[in-house]
Amino acid sequence: ALTTAEHGVSQPAFSPDGARIAYVAPVGPAGVADDASPAEKRKPRVITNLKWRLDGVGAFDDRRQHVFVVDVDGGDAIQLTNGDWDDDAPAWSPDGTQIAFVSDRRRRRHDDLLRSDLWAVPAGGGGKARRLTRARGAAAFPAWSPDGHSIAFIGGEHGDEFWARSANLMVIDAAATNGEPRVVASGFARLGVPEGPAVAWMPDSAALYAVRIERGTGVVRRFAVRHDKQKAVLTGDRRVGAFTLSADRTRMAFVSTWVGEPSEIYAARHRADGRVTDERILSHANDELCATVALAGCRRVTSTAPDGTESESFVVVPPSAGKSKGKRKGGLPLVLDIHGGPHGFHPGASTTTWAITQTLAGAGYALLLSNPRGSAGYGEEFLGGCVQDWGGGDYDDLMAAVDRVVDGGIGDHAVDAAHLYVWGYSYGGFMTSWVVGHTQRFRAAVVGAPVVDHVSMIGTTDIPHFSAYELGGLPWERPDVYAKRAPITYAPDIRTPVLLLHQEGDLRCPIGQSDQLFAALKLLGRQVEYVRYPGGFHAVGVAPSHLVDRVRRTAEWFARHQ
* Number of separate helices (H) and strands (E) present in the chain: 11, 30
Considering only 61-65, 214-218, 518-522, which range has the smallest mean pLDDT?
Answer: 61-65
Check whether 194 has a pLDDT greater than 80: no
Rounded to the nearest 5 percent, the helix, strand and coil shares of the chain are 20, 35, 45
- When the pLDDT of each residue in the chain is averaged and rounded to a whole number, the result is 91
Please report the pLDDT score of residue 324 as a whole number.
Answer: 45
pLDDT tens-place string over residues 440-461: 999 999 999 999 999 999 999 9
Q: What percent of the chain has pLDDT over 70?
A: 94
CA dist 215 and 212 (Å) reads 10
The residue ranking higher by pLDDT, 486 or 154, is 486
Check whether 161 has a pLDDT greater than 70: no
Report the 10 Å Cβ neighbour count for 352.
Answer: 18
Check whether 41 has a pLDDT greater than 80: no
Topology of domain 293-560, CATH: Rossmann fold (3.40.50)
pLDDT tens-place string over residues 78-94: 999 999 999 999 999 99
Considering only 4-8, 231-235, 245-249, 558-562, which range has the smallest mean pLDDT?
Answer: 4-8
- Burial code (b: 16+ CB inside 10 Å, e: under 16) for 3-40 equals eebeeebebebebeeeebbbbbbbbeeeeeeeeeeeee
- Four-point Cα dihedral 337, 338, 343, 347, nearest 10: 0
CA dist 209 and 338 (Å) reads 31
Position 95, amino acid: D
Please report the pLDDT score of residue 160 as a whole number.
Answer: 61
Please report the pLDDT score of residue 31 as a whole number.
Answer: 62
- CA nearest to 186, candidates 216, 217, 159, 221: 221
Contacts of residue 302, Cβ cutoff 8 Å, sequence gap at least 6? 310, 311, 312, 313, 404
Q: Where are the alpha helices (DSSP H) in 363-444?
A: 380-383, 393-408, 427-436
- For 548, the enclosing helix (H) or strand (E) is helix 544-560
- For 483, the enclosing helix (H) or strand (E) is helix 479-484
Do 444 and 333 contact (CB within 8 A), yes or no? Answer: no
Binning pLDDT at 50, 70 and 90, where does residue 110 land? confident
Check whether 258 has a pLDDT greater than 70: yes
Please report the pLDDT score of residue 190 as a whole number.
Answer: 63
Binning pLDDT at 50, 70 and 90, where does residue 33 land? low
Mean pLDDT of 268-289: 94
- CA nearest to 378, candidates 215, 502, 220: 215
Report the 10 Å Cβ neighbour count for 307.
Answer: 11
Please report the pLDDT score of residue 15 as a whole number.
Answer: 97
Please report the pLDDT score of residue 323 as a whole number.
Answer: 60
Mapped to the 3 state alphabet, what secondary structure does 50-110 carry?
CCCEECCCEECCCCEEEEEEEECCCCCCEECCCCCCCEEEEEECCCCCEEEEEECCCHHHH
Report the 10 Å Cβ neighbour count for 399.
Answer: 20
Mean pLDDT of 246-274: 93
- CA nearest to 377, candidates 350, 353, 403, 341: 341
- CA nearest to 172, candidates 113, 127, 119, 121: 119
pTM assigned to the model: 0.94
- 113-117-118 Cα angle (round to 5): 145
Please report the pLDDT score of residue 192 as a whole number.
Answer: 47
CA dist 559 and 562 (Å) reads 5
- Burial code (b: 16+ CB inside 10 Å, e: under 16) for 361-392 equals bbebbbbbbbbbbbbbbbeeebbbbbbebbbb
Report the 10 Å Cβ neighbour count for 262.
Answer: 18
| Chain centre distance of CA 518 | 27
- CA nearest to 289, candidates 260, 249, 310: 260
The residue ranking higher by pLDDT, 33 or 114, is 114
Considering only 101-105, 188-192, 239-243, 469-473, which range has the smallest mean pLDDT?
Answer: 188-192
Strands 98-103 and 117-122: antiparallel
Please report the pLDDT score of residue 215 as a whole number.
Answer: 94
pLDDT tens-place string over residues 326-348: 455 679 999 999 999 999 999 96
Query: What is the DSSP code string of 155-205?
Result: E-SSGGGGGGS-EEEEEEETT-SSB--EEEEEEE-GGG--SS--EEE-TTS
Distance in angstroms between the alpha carbons of the first and the last residue of the chain = 57
Do 340 and 372 contact (CB within 8 A), yes or no? Answer: no
Q: Which residues pair with 92 in a beta bridge?
A: 99
- 95-101-105 Cα angle (round to 5): 140
